[in-house]
Amino acid sequence: MAVKSGNALIRADDKSQAIVEMVLDGLDSPHSRRAYRRALVDFMAWYRETGQTRLGKATVNAYRKQLLDQGMGHSSVNQRLSAIRKLAREAADNGLLADRTANRIHRVKGVKQEGQRMGNWLDKEQAEALLDAPDASTLKGKRDRALLAVLIGCGLRRQEVADLTVGHVQQRAARWVIVDLVGKRNKTRTVPMPSWTKVLIDRWMQAAGIESGRVFRPVNKGDKVTGERMSAQAIYNAVARYVVALGFDSIAPHDLRRTFAKLAHKGGGALDQIQLALGHASLTTTERYLGVELDLANAPCDHLGLSVEL
């Protein structure tokens, strides 16, 4: 099976993997690489299974229609289209696809999102119950309490928690903060930390004998540290166990980041300060437009209102 466009020849069987790798090489985020790989592998499989003979705008539009007919969410469809657009651009840049064809594929319209999803989050009592759920008498329980405290108390993404090092946690302006945290799209930010989060981190690190490197490490069934770092998926799994045990089935780790924002805002935290702490995509624009600087004396995490048994 071959796709011919101009003088370029793309063979779906022997070159598809190489093209996928070209796309992934241009991505910095591990999460984006995983999502794009899955999107492109699925697209290549659909291309072969449906007997497509030409990669072009009509082909991508047909794939878009099938995804929507299958009931895929609008944001998921748009993510897959972004991956295919990048695939076309990389193929054109490497002489495997005509520029005009790549440009036409790039003009395939995304799906318009009507309204805004509310998402899920925990209220104050639920957040406190989740923080108390791990068995603090075990090493694993101490780790998981600290892990949950960082997710809820600082609003970090799970990949950011996985990447957190001992050196990130420092004092600034008479308070503990996570300094120079590199997050999504390689944006660097400083995140204030509530005192109870620092206490729980210290208890975990002291019990595990951690003095440098990654803060969060794997713990085996024998309650022993067995590695140098946890993966983002391992953090997801750790959170999911307690969420399910408490009956919060609709809550995912990212919803703990939303919980941080909701509780901080409800407690009186300034919206612009919450945005800075979260490191949202519009952070740079907001800082330039408003002239905002992170207020460490009145940080978002000071307004969560949680009572944590220490």
The CATH number of the domain holding residue 15 is 1.10.150.130
Last residue of a domain, one of 63, 78, 106: 106
Question: Do 246 and 292 belong together in one domain?
Answer: yes
Q: Tell me if 207 is assigned to some domain.
A: yes
Cα–Cα dist 63/61, whole Å: 5
Please check whether residue 150 is in contact with residue 197, taking contact to mean a CB–CB distance below 8 angstroms: yes
Question: Do 71 and 189 belong together in one domain?
Answer: no
Question: Do 193 and 224 belong together in one domain?
Answer: yes
Cα–Cα dist 266/271, whole Å: 10
Under 8 Å CB-to-CB from 100, ≥6 apart: which residues? 6
Last residue of a domain, one of 53, 79, 106: 106
Q: Which residues of the chain have pLDDT under 50?
A: 1-13, 115-116, 118, 283-291
Which DSSP helix (H) or strand (E) runs through 170? strand 169-172
Q: Tell me if 287 is assigned to some domain.
A: yes
pTM for the model: 0.65
Question: Do 10 and 43 belong together in one domain?
Answer: yes
Looking at the structure of the chain, the number of domains it has is 2
Question: Do 98 and 166 belong together in one domain?
Answer: no
Q: Tell me if 260 is assigned to some domain.
A: yes
Q: Tell me if 117 is assigned to some domain.
A: no
Give the CATH number of the domain where residue 152 resides. 1.10.443.10
Question: Do 196 and 243 belong together in one domain?
Answer: yes
Residues 211-242: tens digit of each pLDDT: 999 999 999 999 999 999 999 999 999 999 99
pLDDT at 286: 37
Question: Do 96 and 201 belong together in one domain?
Answer: no
Question: Do 159 and 27 belong together in one domain?
Answer: no
Q: Which two tokens stand for residue 62?
A: 């047909």
Q: Tell me if 204 is assigned to some domain.
A: yes
Last residue of a domain, one of 72, 106, 140: 106
pLDDT at 14: 52
Q: Tell me if 42 is assigned to some domain.
A: yes
pLDDT at 1: 33
Domain of 72, in residue numbers: 2-106
> How many other CB atoms are found less than 10 A from the CB of residue 112?
7
One-letter amino acid for residue 218 of the chain: P
Q: Tell me if 267 is assigned to some domain.
A: yes
Question: Do 164 and 265 belong together in one domain?
Answer: yes
CA 42 vs. chain centroid, Å, equals: 21
Question: Do 29 and 170 belong together in one domain?
Answer: no
Question: Do 185 and 149 belong together in one domain?
Answer: yes
Q: Which residues pair with 169 in a beta bridge?
A: 178
Please check whether residue 192 is in contact with residue 301, taking contact to mean a CB–CB distance below 8 angstroms: yes
pLDDT at 209: 96
Phi/psi at 170 (nearest 5 deg)? -140, 170
Q: Tell me if 46 is assigned to some domain.
A: yes
Question: Do 158 and 291 belong together in one domain?
Answer: yes
